[in-house]
Structures are given as C-alpha cells and as structure tokens.
Amino acid sequence: MTLRLDPRLAARGYALRYEPEIGSTNSAAKEALRAGADRLWVIADAQSAGRGRHERGWASPPGNLHASLALAAPCEPAKLPLLGFVAGVALIEAIIALAPDIASRLALKWPNDMLLDGRKLAGILLEGESDPAGRPGVIIGIGVNVAHSPEGLDQPAAHLAAKVPWITRDSLFDALQKAFAETLTVFDEARGFASIRQRWLASSLPMGQRLRVKLPGGTREGTFSGLDAQGALRLEMESGPVTIVAGDVFVLP
C-alpha cells in the first residue's frame, strides 16, 4: 500500500502533505494553519526535530508513523484539549480494525499515550495555533512506533511490527484517517464529547490500575477511577479521590 489520502475524505475538505524528511510535522502543520490550511495531514518518513510533551525529543526513524493534523477552529478554545481524546479513540480503533486479535493488549493511558503490553506504543501532542482570521485552532501530532521501538525513554517502549508485522506505516495511516474523520464528526465541536469519553474509557487502562502522577509540586499515587465530564483524570488515593487536569502518568506494578 502507498501513502494516500482517501478520496472520500478529500471531498470533505481533508488534504495530505507528504515529506521524505522534515524538522517536525507539528511545526509544518502550524505554518500551514497560520497560512489558512484546515484538515491538513502532514506526514514525513523521518523527523530531525520531532518532539513530545514538554518539549521532550521524539525518536522519528523511517518506518514509524509521524503525522500531524491541522484543524482550524474545530471547537471553542476551552474545549480544544478534548481533541486529544478524539485522537486516542481514533488511533486505537484504527489499530484494532487492522489487528483485532491484539485489542486486549492495547490500552489508552491518560492524557495522550497508548500502550501495547504495558509499553509505550504511541503518543499524541496537541499544540495551539491561530488561523489567518485569528481563530484558535489546534495541531494534533500523532507518533506511533510501527517498525521500531525507540530507546532511552523514561518508560519501556513497544512497536507494532513485533506483534503484527503486516501493519505498515501506510496501512495504519489509511485506517487512521478514516477513523479520525468519523470520530471528529461524533465529537461535533465538543457537543459529542460524552460519547468520545465513553469510547476512550472502553479502551483505557482498567479501573483500579495503580498509577503515579508527576505534578509540578510533587507526585501522587493512587488507583485509576476514570475521567470526569471534562476529561480530567480521577485518581483514588488513600486520603480520598482527587481530580488531576495535567500531569505525567506512570503505570505501577
């Protein structure tokens, strides 16, 4: 299979820009959004300056998926972070469509990661940007370890080819673009987030999973007890339940 945009999505306003090598697909998508692009996928074989959350480097060798989607004013500004859940649902459902036998081995981890057998398989990075009219938009960066697992991370990594070698970067993007378009339609400018939230929870780490959350003021440990209506993490601690809106989450044995 070759990398291509589905013609049905092109008719709905989606577009695809491919680069053999690029600094960062997110940076390129930002520039495009500032210039007036909307629903534009930017994909590269390799990135020389890929990044994750908090400006961490993201290993970007050929064979893995490095994709960013520019969306101009997809919802009111306060709701833009919810699009990370849209991306997570679309990605895990795309992988399961290609390899249903590994569904039980995949899990979404709050806020924007996906695990395979407990190891990091994919990450999602949201960055804000405005269109030419000054309306807030968002760049959704999606990195998936398809052919290779990076080393030197703060947690163990996995890649799809080790478990399902028939999935390629191109076949994964083909499934992802369709799943994302469907999920974005359900999201409906955040009016459908309750449905997205339920789909996310159906594919998340199990309730009761022990977690450690790194916060600017320290760490908290407890068990996963779901999401609130705004997508914040619910953590059950010995001292009682807490709600966390931002932090780095690590799975404990």
Which tens digit of pLDDT belongs to each residue from 76-100? Answer: 999 999 999 999 999 999 999 999 9
Give residue 101's pLDDT. 96
Q: How confident is the model at residue 1 (pLDDT cuts 50, 70, 90)?
A: low
Q: How confident is the model at residue 2 (pLDDT cuts 50, 70, 90)?
A: confident
Mean pLDDT score, 216-238: 95
Quote the pTM value.
0.93
Q: Work out the percent of the chain whose per-residue pLDDT is above 70.
A: 94
Q: How confident is the model at residue 152 (pLDDT cuts 50, 70, 90)?
A: low
pLDDT in tens, 50-75: 655 545 555 568 899 999 999 999 99
Tokens representing residue 81 in the block: 């972070």
Mean pLDDT score, 148-168: 89
Q: How confident is the model at residue 142 (pLDDT cuts 50, 70, 90)?
A: very high
Mean pLDDT of the chain: 94
Give residue 58's pLDDT. 54
Q: Does position 124 have pLDDT exceeding 70, yes or no?
A: yes
